[in-house]
Amino acid sequence: MSPEPIPKYIEQGALRRANARYQATLEARRDPESVVERIKAAAQAKQMKPKAYIDSLVKDKEKLVAPEGTHPISAFWSFGIEHPEAPPNNKGVHFLDQRFIAEEWAAQRNKANPGVAQTLETTEGGRELDDMFLWEDAVIGALGGAQKGFKPGYARECWGQISTSYAEVAEGRAVVFGQTAHTLSILHQEELRTLCANEKVGLDNIHFAYEAPRDWPAETRAEAGTDAVRAAAQFNDPTLPRYIDPKAFGADAPEARKAKIDKVLTAATPAQEAPVVAAPVGQAPPKSVRTPLWQVGFKSTPTAARPASRGPAAGTGTGAGTGPGVVPDLAPRPLTTGMDGMA
């Protein structure tokens, strides 16, 4: 079934990207030596060993900054949605990564206004790391495996580092392709934390592409489903900090809900000295009214009781118009991909 929140022109472009990437991955599995030769050639050009070169690449912010004269919205992503036309993931599920939805969204925006949107994988450094296919065991083996320093988990380590670097150089608005950030994802562990601390972004400039899950109670969607709270909180692991139980939250008294949100937002921005502004106890939850992402408005969902942002104020933007096939901003069902560590 086609994902409802994605306009057809975005969906079809994302599928083309996903299937092209899948074919490239199959080729890397068939011929890992060719991939390794590319890596070695790049390393030799810098008079470095392959591992040292990759380790330096993921920290090289010069390859992640936007071209001079452009100020793109930086897109981040995590997980994805089932789609019958998408390639299978490592569990055999036909799965469309949010990566390709984000890339197609950025490409469509850039058609009208070049340089207004980007993803990590479309930066110079992101493209180079992506073309190394470090998630593939055959490539890691051809590089020499653990004996050459390519220990298990090396791919995730690399993508975690380059994702952090990408969030560190972001400026202005950032958009997250996902509903929430799972605690096992790089999005939660590295990117959102870094974006909150980035003085050129800040909590107010982080926006989610999709509404909060529709199975959350109304109070949770209105108060904990705002962009700022979803950027700061996590909703899946009660043993870790900044947890909000979506089901139980709505049953709490207004004072308890507000205190919980205040605590989460303050914890996400510990360096801020601005006090949390208290909303009147018992005040009705704010109405959740948003311009759909596809209409390129980025009007943030109203946010209950939040500290002042360290980043510049987020405007509504001008964008590239609505495009064909705009549909309501309904939320898809996110699933794990097996490659979701990348974001």
Give me the residue spans of the domains in the chain. Answer: 8-216+288-342
Task: Give yes or no for residue 110 having a pLDDT over 50.
Answer: yes
- Smallest CA-to-CA distance from 132 within 28, 236, 224 is with 28
Reported in sequence order, the residue ranges of the chain that DSSP labels E, i.e. its strands, are 73-77, 80-82, 95-97, 117-119, 174-177, 206-208
Predicted pLDDT at 77: 96
Predicted pLDDT at 25: 98
Residues 294, 317: Cα–Cα separation, whole Å = 13
**Of 26-30, 214-218, 252-256, 276-280, where does mean pLDDT reach its minimum?**
276-280
Q: Please write the tens of the pLDDT for every residue from 240-250.
A: 999 999 999 98
Percent over 70 (pLDDT), the chain: 77
Q: Please write the tens of the pLDDT for every residue from 17-55.
A: 999 999 999 999 999 999 999 999 999 999 999 999 999
Predicted pLDDT at 5: 62
- Smallest CA-to-CA distance from 100 within 74, 81, 73, 84 is with 81
* Residue 106 vs residues 28, 43, 101, 110, 140: alpha-carbon distances, Å: 26, 30, 9, 6, 31
Q: Please write the tens of the pLDDT for every residue from 154-194.
A: 999 999 999 999 999 999 999 999 999 999 999 999 999 99
Residue 6 pLDDT level (bands cut at 50, 70, 90): confident
Residue 338 pLDDT level (bands cut at 50, 70, 90): very low
Mean pLDDT, the chain, whole residue set: 82
CB–CB of 158/48 below 8 Å? no
Task: Give yes or no for residue 290 having a pLDDT over 50.
Answer: no
Percent over 90 (pLDDT), the chain: 71
**Of 108-117, 225-234, 253-262, 268-277, where does mean pLDDT reach its minimum?**
268-277
Predicted pLDDT at 325: 30
Higher pLDDT, 313 or 238: 238
Beta-sheet pairing, 206-208 with 73-77: unpaired
Among 99-103, 278-282, 310-314, 319-323, the range with the most confident prediction by mean pLDDT is 99-103
Residues 17, 100: Cα–Cα separation, whole Å = 6
Q: Please write the tens of the pLDDT for every residue from 120-152.
A: 999 999 999 999 999 999 999 999 999 999 999
Residues 236, 220: Cα–Cα separation, whole Å = 14
Number of other CB atoms surrounding residue 316 within 10 Å: 11
Phi, psi of 96 (to 5 degrees): -105, 110
Residue 269 pLDDT level (bands cut at 50, 70, 90): confident
Task: Give yes or no for residue 282 having a pLDDT over 60.
Answer: no
* Residue 248 vs residues 217, 220, 243, 244: alpha-carbon distances, Å: 9, 9, 11, 8
Predicted pLDDT at 123: 97
Residue 270 pLDDT level (bands cut at 50, 70, 90): low
Which residues, 6+ apart, have CB-to-CB distance to 296 below 8 Å?
109, 317, 318, 319, 320, 321, 322
